[in-house]
Structure 1
Amino acid sequence: MKILIFGINYSPELTGIGKYTGEMGAWLASQGHEVAVVTAPPYYPEWNIHPAYKGKNWFKEIVDGVTVYRVPLYVPKEVTSKKRILHEFSFLGAVFPKWFGLLLRKKYDVVININPPFHLGFFALLYAKIKKARLLTHIQDLQIDAAKDLGMINNERLLKWMFKSEKYLLNNSHAVSSISLGMQRKILAKGVPEKKFIMFPNWVDERTIKPLAKENSLRQEWGIPLGDKVVLYAGNLGEKQGLEIIIETAEHFKERRNIRFLIVGSGGNKENLEKLAAEKGVTNVYFYPLQPYAKLSEMLATADIHLVLQKKSAADLVMPSKLTGILSAGGCALVTAMPNTSLYDVIQRDQLGVLVEPESKNALVSGLEKMLEEDLSAYQNAARDYAMKHLSKERIMRNFENNLLELTG
């Protein structure tokens, strides 16, 4: 197959949507398919274009056998709702000349549009219609629903237009895929026929991300005694995660010197979190930069307890991508999730961790107190077993490839 992918995030980004789109493109290329991607230079989660890509505009490179067309975009230093809109539209404007060039020169069999941003789908849709290609829309986050429910956009007329545009794109896609049962329910509720839906969950390379002993973790490198209890949050440090609750929770445990809270990652809210910890005089919180993929197993093995935090209003609109790595590493997660959401149901059904109410410091403290006192090995074993059975990269990608072959006939 000849496959064209549109997506704002791509490899070498280490977290989030770019990680999965990059691995998808590389895997499909490794199977002999011709794969091209139209994307931005890497900037996430730091919200800063990676040094090797600064000063470049439109250019082409080969990444893991994939032809990658990079286009410039505006990346705000401080991420607000308005600046994020400008960020996304700057990308769309820069995509146009590359889209037009591909339209004149190249015909692909299938076009994959990675959402968000949802409006990038109009380029994918127009290309597919003109070239008579098949269009698959893959939804990682329900962006418009999240913007509405999180209060990021309050203009009713704008929201109505956005939902109408989204519906048009979904109706004109030959297939729509997403990553969880909860998101499937919401997508089908938008009028997408069930026969058009493809389940395409996020995956993990279970051969690379695996359980390690504490002796083989980053504890020695970071000067953490093996006997200390470590509570870890690793990932994007953005404002919408509500990560201030980690600092508030750590303050409750500050007299217990053998308990450490580690915050590992980058993002627009990191400075505010560091400032809050300093203001509260919390000395049991330690900040570390985002770790390279080669050290992911060692980093995950550092923790006794992993934090997976989600706001109430984000229920079933996003599925935390960090969870796949935690499960594959045999980690025990403390998860904030509401009942009757995909995240809650999976954790509860397979006993993969401990569930507590979102956005509640008392609930988080209570959950940690419980976990710090009990044997977590049953959760850890269940996590690794679940990853092996349900999150295998090879199995998920092979199934997705078969769906693409069926879609293109």
Structure 2
Amino acid sequence: MKVLIVSQYFYPENFKVNDIAFDFKKKGYDVTVLTGKPNYPSGKFAEGYSFFKKKYEEIDGVKVYRTPLFPRLNGSGKYLALNYLSFLFFSFFTIHFRLKGNYDVVFSHHPSPLTSALPAIWCAKKFNAPYINWVLDLWPDSVSANSNIKGGFIYNNLKKVVSYIYKNSDLILVSSKMFKTSILQNFDIKPSKVAYFPNWAEDVFINKNNLEDNNITLPEGFNVMFAGNLGESQDFESVLKAASLTKQYNINWILVGDGRKSDWIKQQIKEDNLERVHMLGRHALKTMPSFFKKADAMLVSLKDEPTFALTVPAKVQAYMASKKIILGMLNGEGKDLINESESGIAVNAGDFQSLANSVIKISNLPEEKIYQIEGNSFNYYLNNFSKDLLFDKLEAYLKNTTNG
């Protein structure tokens, strides 16, 4: 089977689409990827790439066509818009003048923006192939949650674009069960066109025989670690309030990552004298298991926005695969998942008082209870989110859609 994957992001950027491309190539599929020039998350082109360099390459047998785009730079709204729009614009020419041959199925991957599904639709029409659209971010709701766009001309036109994308998808895969409910409520889509396909943890969190320590040291005490994007969506205002409430306890808050909120967090740490909040910066994915191993519990948080209640952050699967206790401050499906799996404690989004109380409670648990919760976390992952399990489902989706 010849599979064409369309994604604005691809290796050396760290996204789940990498696993899909390389694993399906190992299974014997002929895999081609249409993507952009790598610039996430730094905002600068990765080493060896530029606007003009490396239009085509082969990586572990996967054929990669790279379309020019403008980098994200500092990630501000105007640069993100330019980044997204330039991928659309230049992809049109890549598709019509550089992509040759034929494909059995087109698959696309969309953490954000969903508008990057448009090149996948163009490919599906050009090659007369079925199109599978994996949605990890609900548009236009997520745009509204992260900006001042709450309605009006821009919002309504974005919704029209999203409706066009869904109607031109032969199958829509969603990373959250609540995504399906939302899509069916807001768009004229048949239920049979939408299927649940969640995230999984990268291999580094499962195969930990050679952990890269890199002299990682954490402060003495009970260490709660957040790993990932330090952005607006994660509600660090409430996280730091929780940290302030645990000042008198031997509890540390460790932030591993970078993002648009980093400078603000540094300033708040200084202004509020939060000596037990430590920012360790961004590190390579391959080092994350070593950080996780030294943490006592892992934190996931999202703002109190309706669209965020529909999602399960991908870090939850990584935490579970690493046999970690999870502390959550979020609503909806993510909160329910943590509590129902008994992998930790999740409280309502923005409830920093309850989060602080939960951290204190977990820090005082006996060792045997800690082991039990860690076991719950890992076993739930194996039974619901393991990559082998999910990729068998994805392979079936590809074959069924092609035969259909």
TM-score between the two structures when normalised by the length of structure 1 = 0.89
| Deviation by residue 1:326-351 (Cα, 9 ceiling, x = unmatched) | 0011101111122xx22122222221
2:284 corresponds to 1:292: yes
Residue number in structure 2 paired with 1:145: 141
User: Who is 1:309 aligned against?
Assistant: 301
Query: For residue 285 of structure 2, what is the amino acid of its counterpart?
Result: Y
SS at match of 1:128: helix
**Which has the larger displacement, 66-75 or 304-313?**
66-75
Within a 5 Å distance, the mapping from 1:395-406 to structure 2 comes to 395-406=389-400
Asked if 1:192 corresponds to 2:189, the answer is: yes
- Residue 254 of structure 1: aligned partner: 247
Q: 1:195 to 1:204 in 2, by over 3 A?
A: same
Task: Show the counterpart of 1:89.
Answer: 85
Counterpart CA distance in 2 for 1:44 and 1:33 is 27
Gaps of 5+ in 2: none
Give the secondary structure class of the aligned counterpart of 1:51.
Answer: coil
Greater RCO (Cα-Cα under 8 Å, separation 6 or more): 1
Q: Does 1:349 align with 2:331?
A: no
Partner of 1:238, secondary structure, is coil
Query: Would the aligned equivalents of 1:211 and 1:329 in 2 still touch at CA under 8 Å?
Result: no
Give the alignment partner of residue 25 of structure 1, picking from 21, 24, 27.
21
Question: Is the contact made by 1:210 and 1:329 (CA closer than 8 Å) also made in structure 2?
Answer: no
Whether 1:277 aligns to 2:274 is: no
Task: Indicate the residue corresponding to 1:382 in structure 2.
Answer: 376
Deviation digits for residues 254-287 of structure 1 (CA, Å, limit 9, x no counterpart): 344x322111012222222222212322222222
Query: How far apart are 1:404 and its partner, in Å?
Result: 0.3
Q: Which moved more, 1:194-203 or 1:324-333?
A: 194-203
How far apart, in 2, do the equivalents of 1:208 and 1:325 lie? 7
CA drift of 1:85 comes to 2.0
- Shift in alpha-carbon separation, 1:244–1:304, aligned structure 2, 3 A: same
What do residues 79-117 of structure 1 show as CA deviations (whole Å, max 9, x unaligned)? 3334322221022122122111245x2211111122232
- SS of the aligned residue for 1:221 comes to coil
Distance 2:161 2:58 in 1: 33
User: CA 1:317 to 1:80, structure 2 compared with 1: closer, same or farther past 3 Å?
Assistant: farther
Alignment of 1:55-74 (within 5 A): 56-57=52-53, 59-74=55-70
Q: Which of the numbers 100, 103, 109 marks the counterpart of 2:104?
A: 109
Q: d(CA) in 1 for partners of 2:170 and 2:264?
A: 44
Deviates more, 1:34-43 or 1:71-80: 71-80
Distance in 2 (CA, whole Å) between partners of 1:309 and 1:49 is 30
> Matched residues in 1 for 2:9 and 2:118: separation?
17
CA distance in 2, matches of 1:336, 1:324: 16
Within 5 A, what are the aligned runs for 1:197-208?
197-205=194-202, 208=205
* CA offsets 1:286-316 (integer angstroms, 9 cap, x no match): 2223333333322111111111001121334
Q: Tell me, in whole angstroms, the C-alpha distance in 2 between the residues paired with 1:361 and 1:57.
A: 47
Q: 1:211 to 1:7 in 2, by over 3 A?
A: closer
Would the aligned equivalents of 2:311 and 2:334 in 1 still touch at CA under 8 Å? no
SS of residue in 1 equivalent to 2:173: strand
Contact 2:245 2:353 in 1 (8 A): no
Q: Distance in 2 between matches of 1:46 and 1:179?
A: 25
Q: Partner residue of 1:5?
A: 5
Deviation at 1:181, TM superposition (A): 0.9
Residue 48 of structure 1 deviates from its aligned partner by 3.3
**Residue segments in structure 1 that go unaligned for 5+ positions in a row:** none
Task: Please give the secondary structure, in 2, of the residue aligned with 1:402.
Answer: helix
Residues in 1 aligned to 2:39 and 2:237: alpha-carbon distance in whole angstroms: 24
RMSD: 2.4
**Percent identity of paired positions between Structure 1 and Structure 2:** 24
Aligned partners of 1:379, 1:393: CA distance in 2, in Å?
22
Range that drifts further, 189-198 or 201-210: 201-210
Whole-Å separation in 2 of the counterparts to 1:306 and 1:122: 36
Q: Distance in 1 between matches of 2:53 and 2:182?
A: 38
